[in-house]
Each structure stands twice: as structure tokens, then as C-alpha cells.
Structure 1
């Protein structure tokens, strides 16, 4: 798994940098609200605009990459993120930041969908191994982002935006210099292909499950900093712990759990654990120690879920992987875009505990949906080891890696 071509490592490195941008903004949500006189629901629109634009733009990622090639698409996505993040940091009002956060979402759509498809296509070994590498890059980036965001946010809420733009420039240079040319290959993708792919019940079921799970995910991400009420540096440390757990479990725990109980069962266990944590956060919203522990613990369940559900998407429907990824991302991001705003609105207008209960309810609805339709995914669990890598393969990879070192 660890002996991969240069293309895979270059894109994985760019993914680490790109995903740092997600957590980089989280510690400054409350400082933005305080300095600009914005409410939690207004600040949460930073996530909503990002997700709406990214979800809709996912429909066109396959059309673009099939005509211009993966490298150009990745570079275009990174360049757009640089513009969106840099200009967001220059704004003096919440509306301007929200607008350029949407531009950022457009760049992320081009980058994320193409990066996942590039890694799974170019990696040696199975799809599962490639996805573990992708999720590891995601986890490392998400873990490091809050640390940097907290440090920069302690100086000014603008600095994390400028930090994102700088990191994306590094990633852009890395992809431009190190990634081999990737001319378009195969038949150009239709812009309607992702929508047509949703006709496959398995892919639609997994997408809707992820949509409901996103309600809980973005409640945790966008709303928790407000009841935590900690300085930006401390919020950064809390979410660093969350990201670290996410990274570790996505690589080490998810394949182990998959081998023992199956892919679908593993997703259901992870979602049930995450829902339980959200309930605890709802009961003890006023306790900062409880919130801190729960945020970090949630990362463990989210890491397992992310790896298993991403692998399921890549195998669920008989369509090309970029099309499956675009269709899945369209459903989960566009449909889940209301979650950050709803969490902020419920917290300020109704009750501070309610957003966590609503998030938990949505995640449980996802459990019920996937559990009732699990027969659609039986083909994955009929694979050897329920589709997971066998332990001896991982041990051999470890030996090879050690020998190389």
C-alpha cells in the first residue's frame, strides 16, 4: 500500500494541504462573529455557501476533468481556492466573506473529486488501499488545520484565510512541478452523468445516508465553537485532537472493523457511536470538559465512517469512479448545506442544546435508511474479508516500507 507512484504521493500531499483549509477556519468562527457583529447563524453561512457551491459544482467536475485532464483540473481548483480564500480575508463584512467562501467551494469541488479519482486510478493495489491513503491525507490535513488556524486566529481572524491561500499556493506549485502530465483519456464525460448515476439505488442510498450524516458532522464543526467559548488557540487544539483521531481510525481501525463485521455493519456502528456522542453533547452543552472530550471522541467514529462510506461509494454503482464520486458529493453537500445554518439558528433562537439533538436525530435517520436498504450493498460484503485488505497484505506493506526506510 505504501509503495505508490509519484502521481499518488503528489496528489496525496496536495490533499493534505487542501484539507488543512477545512479546519483552519473553525477556530475563528466566534472571533469573526464578535468582531463583525454577526450572529452564529450568519457565521455558519461560511459553511453553507461553501457546501452549496461545492455540491452543485460537483456535477461538472467529471465534464471538466475528462476534457482538460486531471492535472489541469487539480491546478484550476487550487488556483480558485487561492483567490476565494485570499479575498475572503480582505472583506470587512460577513456577506463578503460568505460570498468568497462560496468561490472557495467551487475550487474545492474541482480539486476534491479529481484528487480522489486520480488516487484510486493511479494507486497500486486495490481501491480500498487507495482510499485508505486518501483518507489518511484527509485526516492529517484536518488535524493540522485547526492548529495553524488557532495560532493564526490568535493574531487576527483574517490570517487563517491568508494562511489557506498561502498553503494552496504551495500545493499548486507542488502539483504543477511534480505531477506528470495527464492528458484527457477515454470518452468525455457528460455533465448529466452524475445525475443519471443516482438512478442506481445503492449509490442513491449511500448518498442520502451521507447527507443525513452531514447534519451531525457540520453541527459538530460549525456550531460547537460557540458553546465551547474558548480562545481561538484552544479551539484549534481541541479540533486538532478531533482530526488526529479521525486520521488514526480511518487508517488503522476502519479496515480492521471492516474485516470483522463487514462494510455496511461498520458504517452503522460508526454512525450509531457518533449519534450517541451528539446526544451527550446535547445533554451537557454547558460543560466545556464534556464538549472537549466528545469532540475528540467523535473523530474516532468519523474516521471509520469516512473510510468505509467512501469505499462503498466507489463500489456501489456500475459507473465510472469520477462519476460516482461526483454524484455522491452532489447529494451529500447540497442536501446537507442547510445543517450549519440550522444549527446556528436553533442555538440562538430556540435553545443551545437543540442543535446537537437535531444532528443526532439526522444521523439516526441515516442509520435507519442504510439499515433498511443494506441488501443493496451485499455484493461488497461478499468480497473476501468483506472487501477489506487482508492482514498479511498490510504486514507485507509494512515490511517493504521499513526496508525502504
Structure 2
């Protein structure tokens, strides 16, 4: 069996709480070459595409058809949004700003050491890489916050799979807390409502506010996935915060893929139908996306705008995602603080007693003949940040 530990492990080093922020991910570049491995990793995830009993059939379709046609189309789409939020992929740039803002708001609440890392479910930096980064910094307690407000097996559970797959190779498992949704969190709801109000101060109130979420196949809902219900719960709470009636907002689902039925109504079909119903002034927001990305900037802001206008729509407003708005990152920081209560670095940390305990651990290790090298620091990552794997054979 292969297990991962710290190279040059030392007894008595200081430990930390690790905070891992994750999101879906992005290709390394808006090119066909970069899109092919990214899409393969994404579409081979059984949480994303629950395969038929004959798994080989999906592999054949994916490798024989989809990966030979889709990468070029996706690369062209990514090219339209690349550098829109700074050099590179918008999702990655925004995620880094979110992480920095969250860290700034969380750190003052910790008396001991707290470390932060960013990981993407697909592409780079990977979740495995982010966890190894926290491991190398001595994090013995890790809380994972996937930036998916509404739980879905295809996103949240897939993230859990990636986290636990990596942890299965660790020699010393950390205490782990995993946040699987925050669709009703008051700070998140208020941030959404605030962003809508601010947009409408500048652009007026529409006939209809459309809240568009990423879709999932209908059979996922039929098999018990709560995603659909949580999307509607978020929308209802935002509408209540804004004082909207049921006729003043609508929930839709976008990014449909493949031929099977997905949860409805579809965003694109709605855009094409609304003008014929006399609704020609709308605004669209995507509450399920924590950061602007291809699916919001291009799919909603460009593609669905065209559908609406070509059908006779006159005024289309796209409200940006919450991104790194202060009220959004404050809500995320609050969620993390709720989930780190009781951990030593957060509560009841005594630096002097901690130092004494660590020195005692060192002394005991020496007395028992454990290998020990005094690196001049109590942090394992200052000695050697690299991780090693070692084999143990059992008879």
C-alpha cells in the first residue's frame, strides 16, 4: 500500500487549521489542446455523467466522438471570456481574489495558525495539490468549502470524492469538516439581493427577474438529488428579501448537454418564449454560480441575450455573479467560522502552553530514540515542503 507523509517528519512541530476553498475549474488555456484533457477529466467523472451499465459504451462515445469535436468549440467559447477578469481564466482569477478576501476576514478570529489553499475539481490547481500544500504546512484540521451554494451530487459530492481519494493516501489523516451547501445562509441571500438592488438602481426594474441555475438530468432529481429543491429555496428567499411576488421572478436551468431530459424550464427555451408572452424587459442572475465563468459571461450574457433579442426582446440585463463582493466573501467567511468552532487554533489557544507541550513531545521523542533533526523551526514546512510516499509490506 502507498501512503504519503511529510519528508523529514519532526515531533513537536506546531500545527494549523487548513481551509480549502474549491470550485469547478478551468482549462489551462483557451485552446483545443488544453480543452481535451480538461473535458475528458470532467466528462469521465461518474458523478457528472452517470454512465449506463455498459461503462465501455460511454468511453467509446466520449473518446470516439465528443473529444474529437467538442474541444474546438469549447476553446472558441473560452476565447471570448479569457482575460475578462485579468490575465487568464476568469473563474481562476476570481477564485484567487475570493480566497484572499476570505483569508483576510477569517484570520483575525484565529489565535493559532490558519492556512488557506485553493483547489479546482478539474484542471489546475487540483484539489490533491491544494491538500498536499496544506499537509506540508502542518494542517492537522482541514475544513473544505466547495463554492457551490446548492448541493448536487455532480458538484459537491464529486468534490468530496476528490478530497477523500487524496486523503486515502495519507499516513496521518487530518480532522475533516466538509461543508456541503449554504443555499439558505442569510449572508449569501442578502448578498444576492444587494447585487440585484444595486444593478436595478442603475438600470431600472424589469418586468421579470430570471434566476438561472446550471441544469442536471431529470433522473438525478428522480433518484433523490436535492439540487432542484435547493435552487428553488434560494430563489424564494431572494424574492422575499426583495419583496417580489411569484409573478415577478422565474427559475430556469441552463447548460443542457446531451439528448436526455433535464430539469425544466430550460433557460434558452425561456428566453425564446418570453417576448411572445409580452415580456420584453428582463434581468438575469445566476445564483448557483459563485464566480463568473464561461457559463455566465458567454452562455447567459451573450448566447441567451441573443435568443431573447432575436425573439423580440427589447431589454436584457445580465447581473454579474457575486464574485469577490465584500458582502459575499463576508458570508463565506462566516460559514467557515461556524464550521471551525471548537478547533484548537480557533478557540482556547494558549501559545505558551502549546510551546511547552510541543517541547515535551520533542523531548519524549528523543528519549525514545526517534530520529530528530533540529531545523531551528517548529514548522514542518520550513524544513522541507516536499511530501514523500513510502511502501509498507504486510505479511
TM range (shorter): under 0.3
Q: Larger C-alpha radius of gyration, 1 or 2?
A: 2
Q: How does the TM-score come out when normalised to structure 2?
A: 0.23
Q: How does the TM-score come out when normalised to structure 1?
A: 0.23
